[in-house]
């Protein structure tokens, strides 16, 4: 299966909304309540227009596979991923992270990318470890004990 990516666009808002409200994504998110569509659209448009947000949309043929978002905050670049339910369990997570990180490091070669993952989300932790993210000391995020991982250019 050939996986490609492009920058997300406004036409992707509906699939991103579906992914964001998917049960497992909400469970593993730091904000677990369902997102309403109007809030999502306002957030999505803001992120699309932000020079500090890189939205990677992954697909195979005409089928959406998942997304990776890297946000350049003043203190650090933070990464997140979600994979369409029909593509989970196919060992694509590390590939998507690798592709997004390679593109990001091409643009920002001296950067460090940080991931925060709830300690209860061992599947995501494994994906990030498979994508060569290194452990840092655990942290508390929104009152939840979390893994902190980072990756720099290879």
Could you tell me which of 90, 85, 115 has the C-alpha nearest to residue 101?
115
Into how many domains does the chain fold? 1
Q: Look at residue 51 in the predicted model and tell me its pLDDT.
A: 95
Residue 60: give the domain boundaries: 4-152
Of the two residues 74 and 95, the one the predictor is more confident about is 95
CA 77 – CA 66 distance, rounded (Å): 20
pTM over 0.85: yes
CA 132 – CA 13 distance, rounded (Å): 30
Tens-place pLDDT, residues 2-39:
999 999 999 999 999 999 999 888 888 888 888 899 99
Tell me which residue has tokens 């009152």.
143
What CATH number is attached to the domain comprising 64? 3.40.630.30
* Cα angle: 37, vertex 58, 62; to 5 degrees: 90
Could you tell me which of 84, 69, 81, 95 has the C-alpha nearest to residue 14?
84
């Amino acid at each position: 299966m050939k996986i490609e990516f492009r920058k997300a666009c406004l036409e992707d808002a509906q699939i991103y909304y579906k992914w964001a409200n998917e049960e497992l994504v909400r469970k593993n998110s730091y904000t677990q309540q369902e997102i309403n569509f109007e809030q999502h659209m306002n957030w999505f448009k803001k992120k699309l227009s932000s020079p500090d947000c890189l939205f990677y949309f992954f697909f195979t043929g005409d089928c959406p596979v998942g997304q990776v978002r890297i946000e350049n905050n003043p203190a650090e670049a933070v990464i997140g991923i979600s994979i369409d339910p029909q593509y989970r369990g196919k060992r694509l997570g590390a590939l998507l992270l690798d592709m997004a990180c390679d593109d990001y490091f091409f643009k920002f070669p001296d950067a460090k990318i940080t991931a925060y993952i709830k300690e209860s989300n061992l599947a995501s932790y494994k994906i990030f470890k498979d994508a060569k993210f290194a452990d840092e000391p655990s942290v508390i995020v929104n009152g939840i004990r979390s893994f902190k991982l980072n990756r720099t250019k290879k």
